[in-house]
Amino acid sequence: MDISTNYTITAGELKDKVILVTGANRGFGKAMTLDLAKAGATVIMLGRDLGSMETVYDEVVDLGYQEPVLYPLDLEGATPEHYEQLQANLFEHFGQLDGLVHNAGIIGTMMPIEQYDIKLWYSTMQINVNAPFMLTQFLIPVLNKSDDARILFLSSSVGRTARAYWGAYGVSKFAIEGLSKTLSEELEKTNIKVNSLDPKRMRTKMRQTAYPAENAEKNPLPESMSPAIVYLMSESAKSLNGEQLTLEISS
């Protein structure tokens, strides 16, 4: 299902919502953090680089948007104990969670499976699949406290149609699609709606790494796509569950 990026954010439309975004310090995660805060949500910014997280925090506050919360965590090294602690912190400070956006990810390397670096395969699977699985498992009880919660998994076209040489990244996104669909069925009768989203091409570090020779200027900026994330967290998108969503690049 296509989702338009031509969404006009209304100040306060996500007031009182608490939304956790992984990889919130740069790229698409930063863009959605700004827009979600603009819409009035309190964004829990999860990331591993505190310096760039603080820079985004300052930007949000300087713009007069809802103040975010910084949550430093490296998803590669995080253990169940770290997620348990996060769950406890969310219960203590907010009592509920209304949105969980699994945005963080790494591209791994472009390589035939036959030669794929085994250590990098493990890292990619840990960050792109195992971390979202554990994070979701520990945060379901907090999401259950919301009367309208969303989980969004960032996916990719290579997680829906296999493409040679995309290796662990492509396989990890196939796994994310499976996780999203399975969860959406398990949580069908709850207030938690679960969807996956292919944002298509965006002018970020990840895209540049995957396509070093292309003219990056032709790719849309993540800020032009992120209003759609506000829509997906809003009341208007309440009926979406178990969908494979794709962002529609507006010309």
Ligand X SMILES: NC(=O)c1ccc[n+]([C@@H]2O[C@H](COP(=O)([O-])OP(=O)(O)OC[C@H]3O[C@@H](n4cnc5c(N)ncnc54)[C@H](OP(=O)(O)O)[C@@H]3O)[C@@H](O)[C@H]2O)c1
**Token digits for 223?**
């800020």
**Token digits for 146?**
């919301």
Q: Could you give the CA distance from residue 25 to residue 118 in angstroms, rounded to a whole number?
A: 28
Are 207 and 27 a contacting pair, CB within 8 Å?
no
User: Is 226 near ligand X (CB under 6 A)?
Assistant: no
Is 169 annotated in the active site?
A: yes
Interface region with ligand X, contact rule CB under 6 A, candidates 73-81, 108-116, 139-147, 226-234: 73-81
Could you say which of 25, 33, 42, 234 contacts ligand X (CB under 6 A)? 25
**Which residue in 71, 169, 211, 231 is the catalytic one?**
169
Could you say which of 18, 20, 26, 86 contacts ligand X (CB under 6 A)? 26
Which long-range contacts does 155-163 make (Cβ < 8 Å, 24+ apart)?
A: 155/180, 155/196, 155/197, 155/198, 155/244, 156/198, 157/198, 157/200, 159/196, 159/198, 160/198, 160/244
**Token digits for 43?**
């964004």
- Looking at the Cβ atoms of 14 and 210, the one nearer to ligand X is 210
Position with the least CB separation from ligand X: 27
DSSP code per residue over 51-87 = HHHHHHHHHHHHTTPPP-EEEE--TTT--HHHHHHHH
- Here's the x/- map for ligand X, 89-118, by CB under 6 A: it reads as --------------xxxx------------
- Here's the x/- map for ligand X, 174-213, by CB under 6 A: it reads as ------------------------xx-xx-xxxx------
Q: Could you give the CA distance from residue 98 to residue 191 in angstroms, rounded to a whole number?
A: 10
User: Is 154 near ligand X (CB under 6 A)?
Assistant: yes
User: Is 76 near ligand X (CB under 6 A)?
Assistant: yes
User: Is 240 near ligand X (CB under 6 A)?
Assistant: no
- Looking at the Cβ atoms of 75 and 134, the one nearer to ligand X is 75
DSSP three-state, residue 99 = strand
Active centre residues (catalytic): 169
- Binding residues (CB under 6 A) for ligand X: these are 23, 25-29, 47-49, 74-76, 103-106, 127, 154, 156, 198-199, 201-202, 204-207
